[in-house]
RNA sequence: GUGGGUGUAGCUCAGUUGGUUAGAGUACUAGAUUGUGGUUCUAGGUGUCGCCGGUUCAACUCCGGUCAUCCACCCCA
């Protein structure tokens, strides 16, 4: 029986046209990364589960694709294990590898493993796919590419500033208008401290994040549901009600956080970054956004998120500072900061807003029509010379009807066609047809090459 | 994990209160045009109507289940 082929949920094939466009995104981003002095690395698609688990929060652990051990994967299990409902325990017995969930954790692992060969601060970029067992929907895929830049082994806030410059430059280059949102986890930590609920940072940040979406009342409800005391919620109100421009917000925040050392430090760090940005005349809009609360557990300082101005789509880029990601792997006191561009979402935005450049230059410049055996032989010789001149050239491989060959050239948007039949073979003057204007002329090889090199 | 929409030709979709032979556009192939594409005209369809079951004389149509897909929530790039 013939089965209809398909691909796993949330994955996609990419056509040549799509790949050309995807490569345009990757090339643009890579060029900017290199301009800022970052160097490339690659890491394996799969990592040991011990490397991945516990780094992304409870939700993250659930979304990691686990790989079944090869061979007799049940050999470590007892019947009781299989029947028990403790899936986590069972998972550790039958899987020891997983597909990487992001590029930051594998990078931290890489740094620890190669610490002796790395000169710090280490600036690296990495463009590779990651996998998440999420339910697919708009702008959300189970396999997607991240383009990461991170610098590890430097506490300087200049790194944060430079990352924002990279963001600004990438999106300017791609022609997407964005809003770069910036905050600092320490401020949120400080807030949690001040209201007397230091253990509830995550719940508080998630709730604050929803402020715009669901409103103050619902946020308060949710906080109560998460077990925050009435007093704590009361204390939080002035913070949730903070409005206005930076000059107004900051003094108020400073007032509220005066007793929190970490909170004050967060404000100071943030200010330092923002003051730099103000001097640097960014093309994209940027702002301090307290409601910005990135979910990943490991962020400790700056938090950055970028959204498109003209389209509703999740974040196109996100990141922040992580003070101790390498500590878990045995290399403490090394701070890193980095961001990640979501290439697939950027693709969707460029596509939707019609911002992809014309990509005509990527098909062959000229196609030779195939008239038969003798003609083929001559064509191959001529084509060799033309390719030597750096011109993409193809010969139609089959001795098909002229109409079919012309149609092929037309559909591939090949701008020139050369016809060599009996007559042309004799005279060594070849018929060159311009497919855009429809004009034809007789030329020799030299003229042919010179004409084709012109319309580059 | 929770909720909703949609599954009919390669693609985009029509298809009447259930009724006999399942439709359009587009794409594709051939011809008009034996060495000339994009326009035009003509001809060309073996579609498990997503799958399984139920109701009915009769189901693409109604009901139940299931799978796929899209959207929203959650979370994220």
- For the CA atoms of A15, A18, A20, A26, the dihedral, rounded to the nearest 10 degrees, stands at -130
- DSSP state string for A264-318: HHHHHHHHHHHHHHHHT--SSEEEE-TT-----TT--SEEEEEEESSS--S-SEE
As a whole number, mean pLDDT of residues A135-156 equals 92
- Is the distance between the Cβ of A144 and the closest atom of strand B smaller than 7 Å? yes
Contact yes or no for A110/A40 (Cβ under 8 A): no
pLDDT digits (tens, 9 = 90+) for A334-377: 999 999 999 999 998 998 888 888 766 678 999 999 999 999 99
Q: Please give the pLDDT value at position A455.
A: 62
Residue A406, CB, less than 7 Å from strand B?
yes
Cα-based angle A403, A404, A408 (whole degrees, multiple of 5)? 115
Rounded Cα–Cα distance for residues A233 and A169 (Å): 41
Cβ of A344 near strand B (under 7 Å)? The reply is yes
A352 CB-to-strand B distance under 7 Å: no
Q: Calculate the CA dihedral of residues A309, A311, A313, A316 and round it to 10 degrees.
A: -40
Helix (H) or strand (E) holding A201: helix A201-209
- Separation between Cα atoms, residue A417 and residue A369, nearest integer Å: 7
- Supply the DSSP symbol for A46: E
ipTM exceeding cut-off 0.90 for this assembly: no
Judged by C1' against the alpha carbon of A145, the nearest nucleotide is B77
Give the closest nucleotide to A139 (alpha carbon vs C1'): B77
State whether the beta carbon of A315 lies below 7 angstroms from any atom of strand B. Answer: yes
A59 Cβ contact partners less than 8 Å away, ≥ 6 residues apart: A295
With beta carbons less than 8 A apart as the criterion, state whether A222 and A327 touch: no
Distance, CA of A126 to CA of A44 (rounded, Å)? 12
A146 pLDDT more than 60: yes
- Taking the C-alpha atoms of residue A206 and residue A333, their distance in angstroms, rounded to an integer, is 27
What's the first-to-final CA gap in chain A, in angstroms? 51
Specify the nucleotide whose C1' lies closest to residue A132 (CA): B76
pLDDT at A282: 94
Question: A165 pLDDT exceeds 80?
Answer: yes
The reply to whether A394 Cβ lies less than 7 angstroms from strand B is no
- The Cα–Cα gap between A132 and A109 comes to 19
Q: List bases in chain B with any atom under 7 Å of a protein Cβ.
A: 1-2, 28-31, 33-38, 48, 68-77
φ and ψ at residue A125, rounded to 5 degrees: -120, 160
Taking the stretch 208-267 of protein chain A, residues with Cβ within 7 Å of any atom in nucleic acid chain B are 209-210, 213-214
How confident is the model at residue A1, as a pLDDT?
43
Antiparallel, parallel or unpaired: β A366-368 and A393-395 = parallel
More confident residue, A360 or A407: A407
Give mean pLDDT, residues A120-127: 96
Pairing label, strands A95-99, A285-288:
unpaired
Top mean-pLDDT range of A57-66, A91-100, A142-151:
A142-151
**Selection from A45-54, A159-168, A363-372 with the highest mean pLDDT:** A159-168
Strand partners, A145: A129
Mind listing the domains of chain A with CATH numbers? 16-352 (3.30.930.10), 362-454 (3.40.50.800)
Q: Is the pLDDT confidence value at A384 over 80?
A: yes
Lookup: tokens for A92: 């550790």
Q: Identify the residue whose tokens are 């994209």.
A: A284
Could you tell me the distance in Å between the CA of residue A275 and the C1' of nucleotide B6? 51
- Chain A 149-188, CB < 7 Å to strand B: none
A328 secondary structure, DSSP code: G
Rounded-to-integer distance, Cα A268 and Cα A301, Å: 11
Distances from the Cα of A163 to the Cα of A95, A169, A322, A407, angstroms: 37, 10, 14, 48
Give residue A396's pLDDT band: very low, low, confident or very high (50, 70, 90). Answer: very high
Instruction: Spell out the alpha helix ranges (H) of A175-210.
Output: 185-194, 201-209
């Amino acid at each position: 029986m013939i089965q209809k082929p398909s691909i796993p949920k949330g994955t996609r094939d990419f056509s040549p046209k799509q790949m050309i466009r995807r490569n345009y995104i990757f090339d643009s981003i890579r060029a900017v990364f290199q301009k800022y002095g970052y160097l490339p690395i690659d890491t394996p698609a799969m990592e040991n589960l011990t490397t991945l688990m516990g780094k992304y929060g409870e939700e993250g652990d659930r979304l990691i694709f686990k790989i079944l051990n090869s061979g007799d994967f049940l050999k470590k299990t007892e019947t009781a294990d299989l029947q028990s409902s403790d899936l986590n325990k069972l998972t550790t017995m039958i899987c020891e590898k997983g597909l990487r969930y992001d590029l930051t954790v594998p990078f931290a692992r890489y740094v620890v493993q190669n610490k002796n060969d790395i000169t710090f601060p280490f600036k690296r970029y990495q463009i590779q796919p990651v996998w998440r067992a999420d339910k697919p929907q708009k702008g959300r895929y189970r396999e997607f590419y991240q383009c990461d830049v991170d610098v590890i082994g430097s506490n300087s806030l200049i790194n944060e500033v430079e990352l924002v410059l990279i963001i600004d430059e990438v999106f300017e280059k791609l022609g997407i208008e964005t809003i770069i949102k910036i905050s600092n986890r320490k401020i949120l930590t400080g807030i949690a401290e001040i209201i007397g609920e230091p253990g509830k940072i995550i719940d508080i940040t998630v709730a604050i994040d929803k402020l715009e979406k669901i409103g103050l009342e619902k946020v308060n409800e949710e906080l109560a549901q998460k077990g925050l005391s009435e007093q704590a919620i009361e204390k939080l109100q002035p913070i949730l009600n903070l409005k206005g421009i930076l000059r107004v917000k900051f003094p108020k925040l400073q007032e509220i956080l005066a007793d929190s050392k970490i909170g004050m430090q967060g404000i100071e760090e943030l200010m330092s970054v923002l003051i730099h940005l103000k001097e640097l005349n960014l093309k994209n809009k940027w702002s301090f956004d307290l409601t910005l609360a990135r979910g990943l557990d490991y962020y400790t300082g700056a938090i950055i998120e970028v959204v498109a101005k003209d389209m509703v789509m999740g974040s196109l880029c996100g990141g922040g500072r992580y003070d101790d990601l390498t500590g878990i792997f045995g290399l403490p006191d090394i701070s890193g900061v980095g961001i990640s561009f979501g290439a697939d979402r950027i693709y969707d935005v460029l596509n939707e807003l019609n911002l992809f450049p014309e990509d005509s230059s990527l098909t062959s410049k000229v196609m030779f029509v195939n008239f038969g055996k003798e003609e083929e032989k001559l064509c191959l010789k001529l084509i060799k010379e033309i390719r030597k001149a750096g011109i993409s050239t193809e010969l139609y491989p089959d001795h098909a009807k002229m109409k079919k060959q012309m149609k092929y050239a037309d559909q591939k948007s090949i701008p020139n066609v050369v016809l060599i039949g009996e007559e042309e073979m004799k005279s060594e003057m070849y018929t060159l047809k311009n497919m855009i204007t429809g004009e034809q002329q007789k030329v020799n090889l030299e003229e042919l090459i010179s004409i084709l090199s012109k319309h580059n």
